[in-house]
Amino acid sequence: MKRILINATQQEELRVGMVDGQRLYDLDIELPSRNQKKDNIYKGTITRIQPSLEAAFVNYGAERHGFLPFKEISRDFLSGSPSNNGERVPIRNLISEGQEIIVQVEREERGNKGAALTTYISLAGRYLVLMPNNPRANGVSRRIEGEDREEIRNVLSKLEVPKGMGVIARTAGVGHTPEDLQWDLDYLQKVYAAIKAAANSKNKPFLIYQESNVIIRALRDHLRDDISEIIIDDPDVFREAQKFVEQVMPHNLKKLKQYEDHVPLFNRYQIESQIESAFEREVTLPSGGSMVIDHTEAMICIDINSARATKGSDIEETALNTNLEAADETARQLRLRDLGGLIIIDFIDMTPEKNRREVEKRLREALKIDRARVQLGHISQFGLLEMSRQRLRPSLEESSQIVCPRCTGHGTIRSVESLALAVLRLIEEEAMKESTGKVIAKLPVEVTSFLLNEKRIGISEIEARHAVQLVIVPDPNLETPHFSVERVRSQDTKPDQKSSYEHIPQEETGLTSYQRAPVVAEQPAVKSIHASAPAPSSKTQSGSKAGAPRPLKTLLGWLSGGNKTSKQDKETAATKAAEPAREQSTPTRARSGQRRRGSRDHSRGGQRRRDGSRRTDDQRRAGPARKSHGNRDRSSAKPANQGKPPSSDSGKTSSQ
């Protein structure tokens, strides 16, 4: 059973986990203190044109100017045609410095690199992606294959797409009617109209439109028919999600549940430790093997080790089994950490060619559920596999971690002896300079101890050789490899000079980064656009796979075990709680009391709940009686629900 779990109890961190049973298969973490800029739309100003790069730099309000390649500039912002009789026109003749331009962030800032910008705006909806200034962008998502691809093309041909615009069908649009997609298209057109109006309201660089937060993105991009529940543990976020689902996909309102148990949501589904593994450098495989993930400036390197894996009958079988497990876990870790760019995987050496092909096939299958674009190579004779993955958002490392202040990201530091000798050489270099009267070195305590004891004679020789006073100060605020060497000229030395211990700086008492006032995020000019009407209630096309008759789908589910609780769920889950009376647009509080019933009654009840409008009237009439019965059951079933997973049929999930 697949679920979307949303943890929003801590305002400093919003977490969304997608689980299948109790296995985490996707993760998104957003820190409000680190606002993401990807897909945001800004009004900017061209500050510099670089003909050698065929690009321009744009001030869009950030500290570092963005990089705008010439190929990403729409004709709407060019002063002429980019070609003249087959010859390319210089970029300076087409755009000018100081020109105002509307840009969208295509790639976040990374290290010393500024954000990559584009003027080809794309607005993602539930079923479509609108390209308002790129009419050649009409198409279908690459993840849609086979008959579904032809079917969605036929639906797209029935849409009323304005001239000069393009649309791309998303995977969520498969099986839906033209009315559903047309509603989504009309909504995106309203958003773009508001963006254009806001862009004309100001001249200076500013934020026009901000991409939806992690909660809305998760519901928009991940909520499919195979998702049985969306469980949220914060009332405010629950109301926000309820409002969005009610407007965009009202047929999914019944899947929204509010979690109210005292046990943290992610602990209840046992995924907290799985999330922590995404922050670790080394990941353990089920058979005892391990994989080590290292980040470099150019690429990400993944090394597969057999470690304690000994299940195979020989070395080849052990290598194959470990590599197959690593293929599955690699695809999962790439999603959890959202690693992008060039990735090199060093598999354990395998001699048979068929084993290499089997590992490649396993990795390719595991990557099919990845939303990012992936290019996969073959395992070379050295056991290396090259692949690339699209960056959907800043990686987990970039958004949740900081560079180590001690090693500055190197991962290692110099030893005390090596650093002390390097400082001693630097001290002598400063002492050799003309007119040097004194050299003051502020060093970590352990480095100072090494120099004043093991290298005492060397220090005395430097003083005698260059007639310079050396002052070595132990600074408890410094840690290896940090130090400071200061040269004082002879004319700057004063008779009433300070003692050596007075050079030790006082401990800083300023506010830490956690105590400072939070940075106020820039507010977009376009905050929210409301559709004139909710999404059409018709969910899918008749005759399509997604729209098969519900009794048939139920029967197929019973035959395949889809409607049955898994063995693991049977061991950990309580009997489903009775569903209370509920309006279709507003989920109400559910009662957690258990009502024993046979599987037949439960199945018929499930069909009645799918019975359209008659369900609402029947439930409204039966509401008070069932409500009081739920109260009576809750008092008697309270001990049975302790420590059990939340009910999947309730409007608010609880196991009190």
Digit-coded pLDDT (tens) for 214-269: 899 899 988 888 899 999 999 999 999 999 999 888 889 999 999 999 999 999 99
So what's the pLDDT on residue 225?
A: 87
Query: What is the rounded CA–CA span in Å between residue 9 and residue 262?
Result: 12
Angle at the Cα of 5 from the Cα atoms of 3 and 6, rounded to 5 degrees: 150
**How high is the pLDDT of residue 637?**
36
User: In the CATH scheme, what is the homologous superfamily, with its name and number, of domain 416-503?
Assistant: Ribonuclease E, catalytic domain (3.40.1260.20)
The bridge status of strand 436-443 relative to strand 469-474 is: parallel
Best CA proximity match to 436, nearest among 483, 493, 503: 493
Q: What is the rounded average pLDDT of the residues 129-151? A: 89
Q: Is the pLDDT of residue 549 over 90?
A: no
The band of 485, judged by pLDDT with boundaries at 50, 70 and 90, is very high
Question: What are the tens digits of pLDDT across the range 2-56?
Answer: 999 999 999 889 999 999 998 999 999 988 777 788 899 999 999 999 999 999 9
In the numeric block, the tokens 């993105």 are attached to 217
Higher confidence at residue 656 or residue 71?
71
Q: What DSSP line would sit under 218-234, residue for residue?
A: HHHHH--TTEEEEEES-
Q: How far apart are alpha carbons 225 and 228 in whole angstroms?
A: 7
pLDDT of residue 63: 86
**How many other C-beta atoms lie within 10 A of the C-beta of residue 35?**
14
- Per-residue pLDDT averaged across 487-494, rounded? 81
Which is more confidently placed, 142 or 578?
142
Pick 2-35+212-272's CATH classification: 3.90.550, 3.30.1360, 3.30.420, 1.10.3470: 3.30.420
Report how far residue 45's alpha carbon sits from residue 230's, in angstroms, rounded to the nearest whole number. Answer: 42
Rounded-to-integer distance, Cα 467 and Cα 479, Å: 30
Which has the higher per-residue pLDDT, 599 or 338? 338
Does 394 have pLDDT greater than 50?
yes
Distance from C-alpha of 529 to C-alpha of 531, rounded to nearest angstrom: 7
Q: How many CA atoms lie within 13 A of 61 on its CB side?
A: 22
- From the list 341, 350, 358, the residue with the least C-alpha distance to 382 is 350
Residue 128's φ and ψ, nearest 5 degrees, are -130, 160
3-state SS of 611-634 is CCHHHHHHHHHHHHHHHHHHHHHH
The pTM of this model reads: 0.72
Q: Give the pLDDT score at 518.
A: 54
The pLDDT-based confidence of 585 (bands split at 50, 70, 90) is: very low
Query: Are 105 and 66 contacting, i.e. CB atoms less than 8 angstroms apart?
Result: yes
Burial category of 27 from C-beta neighbours within 10 Å (exposed 0-12, middle 13-18, buried 19 and up): buried
| Amino acid 537: pLDDT | 63
How far apart, in whole angstroms, are the C-alpha atoms of residue 409 and residue 112? 14
**Least confident interval from 331-345, 408-422, 543-557, 587-601:** 587-601
Q: Quick one: pLDDT band at residue 495, thresholds 50, 70, 90?
A: low
Which pLDDT does position 519 carry in this prediction?
54
Mean pLDDT of 587-613: 39
Question: Are 44 and 103 within 8 A, CB to CB?
Answer: yes
Interatomic CA distance for residues 525 and 518, integer angstroms: 21
pLDDT digits (tens, 9 = 90+) for 274-299: 999 999 999 999 988 999 999 988 89
In terms of Cα–Cα distance, which of 245, 219, 257 is closest to 648? 257
Phi first, then psi, for residue 219 (nearest 5°) are -70, -40
- Could you tell me which residues come within 8 angstroms of residue 590 by beta carbon, excluding any fewer than 6 positions away? 577, 578, 579, 580, 630, 647, 649, 650, 651, 652, 653, 654
DSSP string, 322-359: HHHHHHHHHHHHHHHHT--EEEEEEPPP--SHHHHHHH
**What value does the mean pLDDT of the chain take?**
80
Amino acid 506: pLDDT: 65
pLDDT bin (cut points 50, 70, 90) of residue 556 is very low
Predicted pLDDT of residue 520 = 61
Residues 310-335 have a mean pLDDT of 89
> What's the CA gap between 51 and 91, in Å, rounded?
6
d(CA 52, CA 173): 43
Strands of the sheet containing 436-443, edge to edge, are 469-474, 436-443, 484-489
290 by DSSP, 3-state: which?
A: strand
Tell me the domain boundaries of the chain: 2-35+212-272, 280-391, 416-503, 550-653
**How does residue 112 score in pLDDT terms, banded at 50, 70 and 90?**
confident
Average of per-residue pLDDT across 470-476: 92
- pLDDT range class, residue 399, cuts 50, 70, 90: confident
- Between 582 and 263, the more confident residue is 263
- Going by pLDDT thresholds of 50, 70 and 90, the confidence category of residue 496 is low
- What is the structure's pLDDT at 308? 77
pLDDT digits (tens, 9 = 90+) for 238-252: 999 999 999 888 889
Q: What is the pLDDT of residue 524?
A: 81
Element containing residue 377 per DSSP (H, E): strand 374-379
- Structure token pair of residue 394: 């800043």
| Mean pLDDT along residues 633-638 | 37
